[in-house]
């Protein structure tokens, strides 16, 4: 579980990221989960965009994706969200205490 200080830090890092995972009209399908899983494993912090033609609300969709890839949902703004999962072998982001 992330503290509020850690979430603030991740939000600041995430503001400069480009969304690399997009969820469209098919919703959360296995291909989206696999893609998000590999990106989260490689980058730790990932911006996700829920397109307007998605069948579910953005917050609900992002929560489901976070659960599916075992990541923490840091933030939801509009149709964008930030997912974070620490890589235990090679951590790239050092969180404040």
H/E/C letters for each residue in 71-87? CEEEEEECCEEEEECCC
Taking the domains of the chain in order of start, what are their residue ranges? 4-84
Of 87, 93, 49, 54, whose CA–CA distance to 71 is shortest? 87
Q: Which ranges of the chain does DSSP label H, i.e. alpha helix?
A: 4-14, 30-43, 58-68
Q: In which residue are the tokens 């989960």 written?
A: 33
* pLDDT score at 53: 94
Model confidence pLDDT, tens digit, residues 16-45:
999 999 999 999 999 999 999 999 999 999
What is the pLDDT of the chain when averaged over all its residues?
94
Class of domain 4-84: alpha beta
Q: Note the pTM of the prediction, 2 decimals.
A: 0.92
Share of the chain above pLDDT 90, in %: 88
């Amino acid at each position: 579980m992330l503290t509020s200080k850690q979430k603030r830090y991740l939000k600041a890092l995430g503001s400069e990221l480009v969304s690399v995972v997009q969820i469209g009209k098919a919703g959360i399908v296995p291909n989206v989960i696999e893609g998000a899983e590999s990106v989260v494993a490689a980058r730790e912090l990932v911006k996700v965009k829920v397109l307007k033609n998605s069948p579910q609300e953005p917050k609900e969709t992002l929560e489901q994706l976070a659960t599916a890839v075992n990541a923490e949902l840091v933030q939801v703004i509009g149709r964008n969200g930030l997912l974070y999962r620490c890589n235990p072998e090679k951590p790239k982001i050092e969180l404040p205490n």
